[in-house]
Structure 1
Amino acid sequence: MKVVIIIRKQSDKKYLLIDTAVLPNVFEEVIKVKEILNSGKVKDITEAVKIVGLSRSTYYKYKDYVFKVTDGLKGHKVTISVTIGHKMGTLSRVLDELAKYHGNILTINQDIPINNTANVNITLDISELDCTIELLLDKIKEIESVLKVEILAME
């Protein structure tokens, strides 16, 4: 399971978007404990860490510093990069998908197609998004002629 985790750099309150493939498993395990706790399936932290196989001390060490992308994003902006094939209507379908999930488009910057592909950077207000950012990106990736989708920045 690929999960993207935000890690806060405490000194200046910056966030980094890091693919979990390069992180120790402990960060994903902390996220799993949080999900189990939020689901209400367990009574307390002791039960949740036991299910995941994480020590309580490790959980407490990282719990205030490791979050999923979707945690606490209300009122925030995200800039995504979409690489599309030069086919009529592709950008329109991408924009329709963003609107379908209530992403409020703030800016769109599109490059001229070169070698039948174009880069489009879209900045969205995601405060009213009615799905996870991961699901939204997956839906955009499913659109015909969309070659690549990635998050460039988050605020």
Structure 2
Amino acid sequence: MNNKYILVDKSVLPDVFEKVIEAKEIMKSDETLGVSKVVAMVGISRSTYYKYHDKVFPLIESNVERKATINLLLSHKSGTLSSLLRHIASCNGNVLTITQDAPVNSAANVSISFDVSKLNSTLEQLLTNLKTIEGVSKLKLVGVE
């Protein structure tokens, strides 16, 4: 099996995954709360939260729009960002936002949010293909909602 992502009924998983998602949602709704306070509220350790916080996401069962956010480290070469955007568009992804830092040491951090509801491939396949684009040093899926 080559798939990196699987869909699993939460009833067969340890409750720690659901608690991590709960902690993320609490912090999203009240940005004044710190990680230490939130993990104590939901009953997990900080290390457990940090181990899984970028690995588990709630499944949104809406066909209206699904949004994925990725962070990338791109080489400061002409056309790198354009190639990324063209590839997302060729897979029917609709870019919603792009945030790019100024290049430092010939590399720039970029965050892209895009609608994945009409992709003509799997999100996993799209991400795998984006990693192969020349100038993409790092790619991380931040979340899907």
What is the TM-score when the length of structure 2 is the normalising length? Answer: 0.61
Aligned to 2:5: 4
**Shift of residue 89 of structure 1?**
0.4
Partner of 1:133: 123
- Equivalents in 2 of 1:114, 1:105: separation in Å? 24
SS of 1:82 mapped into structure 2: strand
The verdict on how the C-alpha distance between 1:86 and 1:101 changes in structure 2, with shifts beyond 3 A counting, is: same
Query: Can you give the 5+ residue segments of structure 2 that lack an aligned partner in the other structure?
Result: 11-17, 26-52
* More contact order relative to length (CA 8 Å, sep ≥ 6): 2
CA-CA distance at 1:3 after TM superposition:
2.0
Q: What is the rounded CA distance, in whole Å, between the counterparts of 2:62 and 2:129 in structure 1?
A: 19
* Unaligned residue ranges in structure 1 (runs of 5+): 20-66
Cα distance in structure 1, aligned partners of 2:3 and 2:124:
10
Spell out the pairing of 1:17-96 with structure 2 (5 A cutoff).
Answer: 17-18=54-55, 74=63, 75-96=65-86
Q: Alpha-carbon deviation of 1:2?
A: 6.1
Q: How far does the alpha carbon of each residue in 1:59-78 deviate from its partner, in whole angstroms, 9 at most, with x for none?
A: xxxxxxxx9x8x95742111
Distance 1:114 1:104, change over 3 A: same
Which residue of structure 1 lines up, in the alignment, with residue 15 of structure 2?
none
The size of the alignment, in residue pairs, is: 107
Q: Could you say what the CA RMSD is over the residues aligned between the two structures, in angstroms?
A: 3.3
Q: Kindly indicate whether the alpha-carbon contact (under 8 Å) linking 1:81 and 1:152 is maintained by their aligned counterparts in 2.
A: yes
Deviations 1:31-77 (A, max 9, x none): xxxxxxxxxxxxxxxxxxxxxxxxxxxxxxxxxxxx9x8x9574211
Identity of aligned residues (%): 37
Q: Cα distance, 1:6 vs. partner?
A: 6.3
Higher CA-based Rg: 1
- Report the secondary structure of 1:108's partner residue: strand
